Structures are given as structure tokens and as C-alpha cells.
């Protein structure tokens, strides 16, 4: 049995920071050479198996390089039922990591609820992009907190961020 997280005096868990959806909901993001480091997560039928250990390794590389993460932003790209690439936003190149950059126009929308609703969210996002006159080139999911923190905060936010064609 796992122990539930409790909130500290600042209303935080000490694990994942509390997510503020406002800056990310229904926004157009213009990124020019936005820096990320890449990790690979094993999945089973799209469910992550080793996300925690992969993100811990990436965070250790960030810390060792004297870098910082940006907005706790970690994009997930489900490349198959068995693999998910993750992209952790950083403020500078990180030695010993796979450094990548994203450039272009990205559309974002925040969703709240159980992951079982992901299919519904994706259909809604497709319609949202269409209504904005946009065509989706590539999708990313941002799972803003781990399941324990989502439970502690009482909200499970996911942001869909898509590169526009």
C-alpha cells in the first residue's frame, strides 16, 4: 500500500508543483528554438511503465549541468503502444542528454479529469483546432502532475499541445 501525499504549509506536496491552467488554456504558443531534453519511456498499451525512473534520470542530468527546468513542462509523444518519448523543457543545453529544440506555432488546451477521457479530449481538441482555423501537425500530451499529486490536489490536469501545420 502506498502512502498518500499530504500538502505542506504552502499547499504543495513537495513532489509536483501545483499546476495553474490559466497560462496554458486555449493559447497559441510561438516557440523559437525552445530547448528540451529527450527521454524514452516503456509503455504497455500506452500506459507508462517506467516514467518515474526516466524523469528522475533526466532531472539528475539537469541538476548536474547546472540547468533548470522551465514551467515543469514535460511533453509526452506516444509513438506506439509500447513507447513514449518525453521532452523536458530546460533553460540551456544539458551535457550527457539528448538535446532537441522545438520551433513553430503550437496550440494548447487544458483538460481536467481521469485519463480514461483522453479519447474524448483528443476529439474535442481536433474540433477546437479546426474552429481556430488550424491544422494539427504533431500532438503532445503534458501530464502536469503524477497520480499521487493529482489526488492530493484534487485535480488531474492534462494539457494537449499540438504543433500546427
Q: Report the pLDDT averaged over residues 107-136.
A: 95
45: which 3 cell numbers? 498499451
Is 2 part of any domain?
no
For residue 87, give the nearest of 45, 35, 50 by alpha carbon.
35
Q: What is the pTM of this model?
A: 0.91
CB 79 within 8 A of CB 123: no
Distance CA 103, CA 116 (A): 30
- Is residue 7 in a domain? no
User: 108 and 157 in contact (C-beta within 8 Å)?
Assistant: no
**Tally of domains in the chain:** 1
Q: How many residues does the chain have?
A: 165
Residue 101 has pLDDT above 90, yes or no: yes
Counting residues of the chain whose pLDDT is more than 90, the rounded percentage is 83
Q: Lowest mean pLDDT of 28-42, 97-111, 141-155, name the range.
A: 141-155
- The C-alpha atoms of residue 158 and residue 156 are separated, in whole angstroms, by 7
Which positions ≥6 away from 151 have C-beta within 8 Å?
Answer: 4, 5
- In a domain, residue 19? The reply is no
Range of the domain at 54: 30-164
Write the pLDDT tens digit of every residue in 47-83.
899 998 999 999 999 999 999 999 999 999 999 999 9
The angle formed by the CA atoms of residues 52, 61 and 149, to the nearest 5 degrees, is 30
Mapped onto helix, strand or coil, the DSSP state of residue 18 is coil
Residue 17 belongs to a domain: no
* CATH number for 142: 3.20.80.10
Amino acid at each position: 500500500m502506498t502512502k498518500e501525499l499530504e500538502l505542506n504549509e504552502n499547499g504543495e506536496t513537495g513532489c509536483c508543483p501545483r499546476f495553474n491552467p490559466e497560462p496554458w488554456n486555449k493559447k497559441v504558443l510561438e516557440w523559437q528554438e525552445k530547448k528540451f531534453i529527450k527521454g524514452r519511456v516503456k509503455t504497455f498499451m500506452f500506459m507508462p511503465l517506467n516514467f518515474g525512473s526516466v524523469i528522475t534520470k533526466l532531472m539528475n542530468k539537469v541538476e548536474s549541468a547546472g540547468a533548470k527546468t522551465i514551467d515543469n513542462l514535460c511533453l509526452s509523444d506516444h509513438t506506439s503502444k509500447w513507447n513514449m518519448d518525453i521532452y523536458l523543457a530546460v533553460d540551456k543545453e544539458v551535457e550527457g542528454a539528448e538535446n532537441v529544440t522545438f520551433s513553430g506555432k503550437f496550440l494548447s488546451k487544458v483538460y481536467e479529469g481521469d485519463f480514461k477521457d483522453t479519447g474524448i479530449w483528443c476529439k474535442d481538441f481536433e474540433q477546437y483546432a479546426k474552429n481556430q482555423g488550424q491544422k494539427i501537425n504533431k500532438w503532445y500530451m503534458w501530464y502536469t502532475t503524477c497520480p499521487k499529486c493529482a489526488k492530493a490536489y484534487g485535480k488531474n490536469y492534462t494539457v494537449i499541445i499540438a504543433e500546427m501545420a
